[in-house]
Amino acid sequence: MRGKEVAAAAAARLLLERLLPGAARVGVGTGSTTRLTLRRLLDEEPDALRGKRLYASSHDTLLYLEELGLEASLRVPPAGLDVYFDGADEVSFEANTCMVVKGRGAAMLREKMMAYNSRYTLIVVDEGKVSERLGEKGKPLPVEVHPDALSAVVAALRAQGLRAEPRGGCGCRDGPACTDNCGLVVDVWGLDRYSLLRLESMVEAVPGVIGSGAFAGYVDAVVVGYGDGRSVVRACRRTRINPALRGSRS
């Protein structure tokens, strides 16, 4: 927990000092690290987000922002976001490209829409989320699937030698996990054998798959917090961004 708090504090400082002053449209991710970053941000500067247009990556985040007295939207603005910050499930650094896996909170498609349409995407994690190589922690790649294609998609993935399991047991309802888009979540293991880019290609080529939690090239920087109180900001090589935003990046 200490590393998460350190990461959130460092991310809040970075946002306040460098990213938010010139930002008009701010995207906010989903999950406990994002909430912690928000709390640290507003503790440091209560009016930091006043007057800015906020965009939430999930209904959960939308409701949380409203609880804080902040108005937000779920849609992606046509002019794009100036900055987007979020947490992640697992991160590795390969050839200066930050390889990120997201989707434990089942918001990966909306989060990817935000990241792709943001001029600057910041990921916030503690040291426990960092791997030398993705897959070493045994975590799956979350995949969003159209409900009518669930069985067919699972069969197709298993035929490729992948372990694919519809996610269930989420606690709030019986049956498989649903996204805000009414898609179903399938967890796919294979990062121990394939690169993130290769697994992404294998998964997303199957008709019925709506999207995955593979974020390769979507990120500009990652803040890592450590239990000893240190924090590090790792710059990333950004390769995936809406081309309409390329000429106006911060």
Q: Which residue blocks in 87-139 are alpha helix, DSSP H?
A: 108-116
Alpha carbon distance 135, 101 (integer Å) = 10
Residue 234, strand partner residues: 222
Spell out a b/e string for 160-173, using b for 16 or more CB atoms within 10 Å of the CB, else e.
Answer: eebebebbeeeeee
- Residue 165 a catalytic site member: no
**Main-chain phi, psi angles of 191, to 5 degrees:** -70, -10
- Contacts of 36-44 with CB under 8 Å at 24 or more apart are 36/4, 36/5, 36/8, 37/7, 37/8, 37/11, 37/12, 37/85, 37/124, 38/64, 38/68, 39/8, 40/8, 40/9, 40/11, 40/12, 41/12, 41/15, 41/16, 42/68, 43/12, 44/12, 44/13, 44/16
Report d(CA 71, CA 55) in Å as an integer. Answer: 9
Q: 202, 220 in Cβ contact below 8 A?
A: no
Catalytic pick from 90, 111, 127, 144? 111
Amino acid at 222: V
Active site residues: 111
